[in-house]
Amino acid sequence: MKATCQKLAERIQEIEKELVHEKEIGLKFRSVFENSVEGIILTDDEGTVTDWNKFIAGKTGITQEYAIGRKLWDLQYNLLSDDWKAMFPAEKLKQIWLNLLETISEDKPVSNEGQYFGKNGQLILIEDVVSPIIVNNKKYLCIIQRDLTKRRNAEIALKESEEKLKQLNITKDKLFSIIAHDLKSPFNTITGYSQLLKKSIREKDTAASDKYLEAIISSSQNTFRLLNNLLTWARNEVGMITCNPVNISLYKIAEEVNDLLISSAMLKEISINNRINENIFIYADENMLKTIMNNLIANAIKYTSRGGKIIIESKQSDYETIIAVTDNGIGIKPEKLKNLFDNSCIHTTRGTEEEGGTGLGLLICKEFVEKQGGNIAAESEFGKGSKFWFSLPLGTNQ
């Protein structure tokens, strides 16, 4: 009898130790569960939430007390954006989870990526890893949720950085290519005509001197314009040019640009007619607008034969101003017209008097117009002339 009581006492002590041990395990599990850096959701075999840790509560704004006892799909549906609700209506979402509860096996956890709006309204990208737990022949779900937002943002930033580096390398290659080829030619022209001018002056050949001097002036102006475009394009490509729109007189800008280009036009006996109304104001960046008009008018001069004409005009709608530069020059072939503003197809057609260029002018125009919320396009009939137009926001008369 005494031995039996002693054994019973020992067994009771063992049971107490086991209970204490199980309690310690339970507390440790609870601590790990609550302080996990990933979300953990537990459901019963009918999809009812039985546990919901702090990570999930912190991200969603749904407390543990509210979540427990509710269906998982109902909680999830209320967190979805309208687009995702349209893709996954409430009944469809419910059926997905019920099918998962029925088919998932212990050796094949299911992983899915998704998104929802968190408690502060921010979009959270997630990955759910769903595994079954079998207890007393009943299947439960354990859902481990990882926040992918920072990782995705880092991936996007890395991709943008790689793309920027790629563009910088392209810019560098184009820059060196233009410096090596397009800038060399006009300087050779200037040097050559300078030698001829020196000889004609020595021989007192006034007619020849005037001809050579005219060629030097024209080549110098074209080279300056080419170099200016080159530097402008390079600065824009690396993000050094910002758009600062103000209310400005379109007529005044057109006149200032004409003053800069009048000597080039006079050398080819080309007339420039500014038909813009003096009362038209637009909302634009002044430097960008001057660059756009300078390039379009300079191109018109370049591709118009001696004695030709150029017209600058504008028209307004309720929300924008359209500025057009029209010439009666050589025009553009249809196959070149369709790719005129394509960054990957830079055209370098020489002018009516063999003026050179890089094809950067139109690309700069396109980028500067679009930075100001406008559009640019061209119409042309080969052999008869071209019309380039662009749109910019309205300004107010002052």
Question: Could you tell me the CATH number of the domain that includes residue 317?
Answer: 3.30.565.10
Q: Which of 141, 159, 143, 148 is nearest to 111 (CA)?
A: 143
Question: 174, 209, 241: which is the final residue of a domain?
Answer: 241
Same domain, yes or no, for 219 and 315?
A: no
Same domain, yes or no, for 187 and 279?
A: no
Same domain, yes or no, for 312 and 214?
A: no
Quick check: pTM over 0.85?
no
What is the Cα Rg of the chain in Å? Answer: 37
Question: 241, 261, 287: which is the final residue of a domain?
Answer: 241
Residue 228 pLDDT: 73
Residue 17 in any domain: the answer is no
Same domain, yes or no, for 40 and 109?
A: yes
3 state SS of 359 = coil
d(CA 128, CA 371): 41
d(CA 304, CA 294): 15
What is the tally of structural domains in the chain? 3
C-alpha pair distances (Å), 398 with each of 10, 32, 193, 278, 394: 102, 70, 49, 11, 13
Residue 20 in any domain: the answer is no
Residue 327 pLDDT: 94
Residue span of the structural domain in which 251 resides: 244-398
Same domain, yes or no, for 327 and 385?
A: yes
Residue 164 in any domain: the answer is yes
pLDDT tens digits, the chain, 398 residues: what are they? 555 666 665 666 666 565 655 555 655 656 666 777 788 888 988 889 988 888 888 888 888 899 899 999 998 898 888 888 889 999 999 998 888 888 887 778 888 888 888 877 888 888 888 888 887 778 888 888 888 888 888 888 888 888 878 877 776 666 666 565 556 666 777 888 788 888 888 888 888 888 778 778 877 877 777 777 677 777 776 677 788 888 999 999 999 988 888 888 888 899 999 999 888 888 888 888 988 998 899 889 888 988 999 999 999 888 889 999 999 988 888 888 887 877 665 656 666 666 666 667 888 888 889 989 899 999 988 888 999 999 998 766 54
Residue 22 pLDDT: 59
Residue 15 pLDDT: 62
The edge-to-edge listing of strands for the beta sheet with 376-381 is 271-274, 309-316, 320-327, 385-393, 376-381
Question: Could you tell me the CATH number of the domain that includes residue 85?
Answer: 3.30.450.20
Question: 241, 268, 303: which is the final residue of a domain?
Answer: 241
Q: Which residue has the tokens 């910019």?
A: 392
Residue 357 in any domain: the answer is yes
Give residues with Cβ within 8 angstroms of 211, minimum separation 6: none
Residue 386 pLDDT: 92
Same domain, yes or no, for 261 and 236?
A: no
